[in-house]
């Protein structure tokens, strides 16, 4: 029978009616987890500088909802997430450290 899997298509949840969802998914590669304290903002600035030095998209999502932060398993902020994986938490990484992490994740 040729009924199953005949018309498999891939699209977003709204049937490709939106462009903003696609852009957000492409740009939400790096996330900073934290409530907005000085350390969280410094980590975000360092991550942006690292992305700029590597010539990558500088879109960074800052997650401030503590329930969502806890869902990542992070208790001590700030935290850094790359491609959905927590790569650091509890300290402010230097720009050079973030560059090294991003290059390792790229491979």
Helix then strand then coil, in percent of the chain rounded to 5, is 40, 15, 45
Is 26 a catalytic site residue?
A: no
Annotated catalytic residue 40: yes
Catalytic residue among 12, 18, 26, 37: 37
Distance CA 78, CA 33 (A): 5
Nearest alpha-carbon partner for 66 in 77, 51, 57: 77
- Which are the catalytic amino acids? 37, 40
């Amino acid at each position: 029978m040729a009924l199953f899997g005949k018309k498999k298509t891939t699209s977003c949840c709204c049937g490709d009616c939106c462009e903003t969802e696609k852009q957000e998914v492409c740009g939400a590669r790096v996330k900073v987890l934290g409530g907005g304290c000085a350390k969280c903002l410094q980590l975000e600035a360092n991550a942006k500088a690292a992305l700029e030095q590597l010539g990558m998209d500088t879109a960074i999502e800052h997650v401030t909802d503590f329930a969502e932060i806890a869902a990542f398993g992070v208790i001590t902020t700030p935290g850094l997430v790359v491609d959905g994986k927590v790569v650091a938490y509890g300290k402010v990484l230097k720009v050079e450290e973030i560059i090294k992490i991003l290059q390792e994740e790229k491979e």
